[in-house]
Structure 1
Amino acid sequence: MQVTTWFIAKEDEAEAIESIVTTEEHSPEDWMYLELPLIEMEFMALSAALRGTEDITDERTLEDPLIFREEDGLIIARVVESFIQSLARVTDANVPGLVNAWVERMDQENHGPEELREFLSEMVKFARQAVARRSPVLSLATF
């Protein structure tokens, strides 16, 4: 299963984050982080739901990779700022409709609506922390 971990971290910390997987010099606990069993297409489906569009491939949620190591099975990239900002603005009243829209845009075999609601809640809290700290979010995806 692919796991994506978000870190409240700056781009110059990408190599230190890489070491979590490659050398274990650092651990996730060195940063504020959120671990999710989601892949890029699932984040793109959420982004489309946030924007109210049907086409999940219309806009990526990650910038170009800062680090791509196929041999170690990892990618580190900055999460697109507009996606983080959109997540930070989600209100409790928006959650049910947003989860339904997210479910409609993705493969429902992997995650049910209640699980997605929990993931969304965690992502919203995390995005708000990143915005409050005025810090980018880096994504570490392992495959």
Structure 2
Amino acid sequence: MQITTWFIAREDEAEAIESIVTTEEHSPEDWTYIEFPLIEMELMALSAALQGKEDITSESTSEDPLIFRDEDGLIIARVKDSFIQALARVTDENVPGLANAWAERMDREHHEPEELREILSGLVTFARDAVARRSSVLSLATF
């Protein structure tokens, strides 16, 4: 299972975040973070659901990688501000409906709607925190 971790962090902290995997010089607890069992395509499905689109492949949720280390199996990229802003605007009342729309755009054998509601609630809270701090979000995906 691929794990993605988002950090409230600046781009110049990408190498320090990389060290979580490569040298263990830093740990995730050095930043505010959230960890979830999703890959980019599943986040793209969420983005499509947020926009009311059916095509989940139209736009990535991350910018070009800041760090790509095939040998260590990691990618660090900035999460697009527009995606974080859209998540931050989701109201608590809209989470169940949005989670259902998200589930319809995904492979259901990997995630049940209830699990997606829990993940979505966490992502919304995290995005609100990032927006309140006026900070970027960096994504660490391991593969």
Per the shorter chain, which TM-score range?
A: over 0.9
Deviations 1:56-113 (A, max 9, x none): 0111100000000000000000000000000000002211210111001011111100
More divergent stretch after superposition (5-14 vs 93-102)? 93-102
**Partner amino acid, structure 1, of 2:71:** E
The number of equivalent residue pairs is: 143
Aligned counterparts of 1:111 and 1:57: Cα–Cα separation in 2: 19
1:50 and 2:61 correspond: no
TM normalised by structure 2 equals: 0.99
- Structure 2: give runs of 5+ residues left out of the alignment: none
Aligned position for 1:61: 61
TM-score normalised by the chain length of structure 1: 0.99
Structure 1 distance, partners of 2:9, 2:108, is: 31
List aligned pairs for 1:76-115, cutoff 5 A.
76-115=76-115
Give the distance between the partners of 2:58 and 2:101, measured in 1 at CA: 16
SS of residue paired to 2:71:
helix
What is the match of residue 122 of structure 2? Answer: 122
* SS of residue paired to 1:71: coil
Letter in 2 for 1:59: E
CA shift digits 1:27-53 (9 cap, x unpaired): 000000000010000000000000000
Local SS of the residue matching 2:65:
strand
Q: Which residue of 2 aligns with 1:33?
A: 33
Q: Does 1:8 align with 2:12?
A: no
> In the alignment, what sits opposite 1:24?
24
Moved over 4 A (4+): none
- Structure 1 unaligned blocks of 5 or more: none
The CA RMSD measured in Å over matched residues stands at 0.5
> 1-side partners of 2:62 and 2:122: how far apart?
18
Name the % identity. Answer: 81
**How many Å separate the matches in 2 of 1:39 and 1:101?**
17
SS at the partner of 2:93?
helix
